[in-house]
Structure 1
Amino acid sequence: MPSDDRPRVLLVDDDVVLAETLADYLCAHGFDARPAADGTEARCILAGFHPQAIVLDLHLGTESGLDIADGLAARFDDAAMPAILFLSGAASPFERVLGLETTADDFLEKPISPRELLARLRGLLRRSGHPAAPARLMRLGAVAIDLSAQKIVHADGGEDPLGPSEFALLKCFLDRPGHVLSRDDLLERAPASDGEAADRSIDRRIARLRRKLERDGGNVIEAVRGRGYRLVADEGPTQGGSAQGGSAQKG
Structure 2
Amino acid sequence: MTTILLIDDDKEFCLLLKEFFKIEDMEVTFAHDGKAGIEAMQAARHDVVVLDIMMPPPNGIEVLKKVRPQSNVPIIMLTARGEDIDRIVGLELGADDYLSKPCNPRELLARIRAVLRRTQLSNTEQPEVINAGQVTLNTGTRTITVNGKLIELTSTQFSVLEQLMRHAGKVITKEDLTEKVLDRKLDSFDRSIDMHVSNIRKVLNRNSEIQHIKTIRNVGYQFVLEQE
Report the TM-score, using the length of structure 1 for normalisation: 0.45
Question: Which of 1 and 2 has higher RCO (CA within 8 Å, sep 6+)?
Answer: 1
Instruction: Point out the structure with max Rg over C-alpha.
Output: 1
